[in-house]
Structure 1
Amino acid sequence: MKEMPTEELSAVNGMSEEDNSVVTEDNSLQKATLLVVDDNHDMRRYIRSLLKNEYKLLEAENGVEAMKIIEKHQVDLIVSDLLMPEMDGLELSKRVKENLATSHIPFLILTAVHSEENEKKCYSIGVDEYLCKPFDADIFKYRIRNILTLRRGYQERLSQPAVLSDISELGLIEESRDKIFMDRAMELMKLHYAEAEYGLDAFVRDMGYSKTLVNQKMQSLAGMPIGQFMKNFRLDMGRQLLEQGKGDANVSEVAYAVGFNDPKYFTKCFKQRFGCLPSSFSHA
C-alpha cells in the first residue's frame, strides 16, 4: 500500500495557508485491472483475447488463488466462473463483498449453469452482473465497460460541489458495506466540520479502521484521499452558510465556522472548488 499523500496532512491541524496544494492524477488514463477467475484454461485464454487491449489482466484458477491475488494487487473488477474447485464463484463473491477492504470491487459472474436460484443468490450477495455461457463477446465487453463507467461515475459525482451533502444520489446498495462506510464518513463530518482541530487522525479513529484501510476505501469509493474528502465537505458547508447568509455573511467568520484556520486559504480553496470567490456571496 502506498504512503499517505502529502495533501492528507491538510486535515490534521485544521485548514491553513501552510497546507500543501492538492495534486490530482488523471485516473482515466490508467488501464483498469481485471481479475479473471476460471478453472478452464481455454476459457481464460478466450477472455484474455477479448480484454487484453483495453485492460490489465490478472488470472486465477479458483477462488483460493483469487483471494491471494486480491490481497496483493489492486483489482478494479472481478470476472469469475461460478463452478470451480476449492472455492467456487459464489463463495468468492461472498468473501469479497463481506470484506470492507474489497466490497467496492465490482463482480461479474460467468456460468454455464442456467439456474434462477443461483442467479438470485449471486445478486443477493451483491454481484453486479450474472452472465450465462456461451455469451456474446460484444455484450460481455459492454457490460464490463458499463460497470466500470458506473463506478467512475460514483467518484465523479462525489467530487462535485454539493453532492457531499447527500450521497443518496450515488446509488450505493442499501445496507452494503460501501453504503455503511460512506454514511459513517458523512455523519462524522456533519458532526465535526466546524472543529478546526478535528483532523485526519481523529476522523480515522472514529471510523474505527486502520488509516490504510480508510484511505484505500475513500480512494476507491470517492476517488480522493481522506484529507481531500474532509476539505471538500468543509468547503461545501461554507458555501451553504454563505448562501444562507444572503449577502450578510462574513467570509472570515464562515471560514472559521467550517474548520479553516486561515480565511485566505479558505478563499483559495473555495475558488478552486467552485470557480468563484466566497466574497461573491458576501459583503465581506
Structure 2
Amino acid sequence: EDEEAHLPLKKYIEIKVSDTGIGLDDQQIERIFDRFYQINNDITRNQAGTGVGLHLTRSLVELHHGTIIARNRTDVQGSEFIIRIPQGSDHLKMEELEQPDTTTSENNPTITTTTTSEQPVKTTEETETEKKIKSKSNFHILIADDEKEILNYLKNELSADYKIHTCNNGREAYEYLLNNPTDLLISDVMMPEMDGMTLCKKIKQNANINHIPVILLTAKGRPEEQVEGIEIGADSYLIKPFNIEVLKSTIGNLLSNRRLLKNKFSGAQEQSDKVQNIQLKSADEVLMNKIMKVINENLSEPTLNVEMLANSVGLSRVHLHRKLKELTNLSSRDFIRNIRMQQAAKLLKEKKLTISEVAYAVGYNNLSHFSKTFKEYFGLSPKEYMQNAHEENATENDIIEE
C-alpha cells in the first residue's frame, strides 16, 4: 500500500481511476509504467495496444512534479490508478513556468498575448542552436503505423528536430512517398492493407523513390525476419521495445550518410579538403568490376540471384549486401534487378526482339513476372514502353527531316 495515498489533500489535486476487472499481480504493478510494456492475459490478448499510454501519462504527471501509482482495490475486485499533482505553481522552477507578457497591465492580472513588431535580441549561442535545429528540421520524415499511440509518441519525440508526416498503413505510405518529397521512412512491419516488408520492397523497386532510407520497427525479433528485411533493402531494423535515443541516432546517421552519398554523385566537386575523396577506392573498383562481370556473363540465366553472385565474387550474402549498399545505395537483389531492367529497356527500344524474347534475354522465364517487374520499375508496361520509344523516335526523325 502506498503511504503517499494517505497524505492530506490540502495542497494536492487527486485523480482516481478505478475498474472492476481482474486486478493486477505484483509483476504487473512493478512494470506497468515501463515503455512498451503490455499485460498479456486472456482479456487483453486480443485488444489493440502498444504499451505507450501509461508511460506517457507518468511522464506528463512527473512534468508537474506529481505522482501516479497503480494498485489493487481493497473494497472490491479490480485495480485503481491514483494521480496526485501539487496545487499552484510555487513548487515549479522558473524555467518550468510559462512567462507572462511583460506588457500586461498592472490593473489586469490576466495573462494576455501581445503582438509586437519588435523582435527580442538573440544571443550568439541561441542563434547557433536555432541554426542547427533549422538545418535538421528541413528533413521530412514519414512514419507509417496503424497504432495511433505509436504515431503520436514518435511524432512528439521527433517533431522538434524534423518535419513529421504520418500514415496509418503501408498503402497510404506508398502513395504519399510517390507524391511528396521525403527524406526517410519509419515503418511498422505489421500493418493492414500493406505490411512494412511489402512497403519496403515496393520502395526499393521503384527507381523514383528507392533512395529513401527505410527503418523497420517490429515486435517480432526472429533472425529470419531480420535477414528478410535487410535483403529487401531496409536500412535499419529495430525491435520493439526500442530505445528512443537509439532510433534518433539511427535517423541521424542514415540522413548524414544519404547527404554524403548525394554529394558523391551530384557533380559538386568543389568541396573543402575536409570532405573525403569522392573516387572509389581501388579495392572497391576491383570488386565492382568483378560484380559487373558476373552479372553481364549470366544476365540471361534465371539462376542469377544474390546467392550466386555472392559465391562468384567470394563474399557472404551479408557482406555483399553491405558493400553494394555502401557503393550504390541498393540492396544486392535490387542491384541485379536494376541492371536487368535497364538492359531490357535498351533491347525494347531497339525493337529487334519481341517482349517475350527480351524477357528471356534478361533472365526471366516467366513473361508475367517480367512485365510486372518492368512496370514497377519504369511505371510502364513493356508494350507501353516500346510504343513510347517508337513515338519518340518518330518525333526525332520528323525534326531531322525539317
TM-score normalised by the chain length of structure 2:
0.36
Larger Rg belongs to: 2
Structure whose residues are more often helix by fraction: 1
**Relative contact order: is structure 1 or structure 2 higher (C-alpha 8 Å, sep ≥ 6)?**
1
TM-score normalised by the chain length of structure 1:
0.50
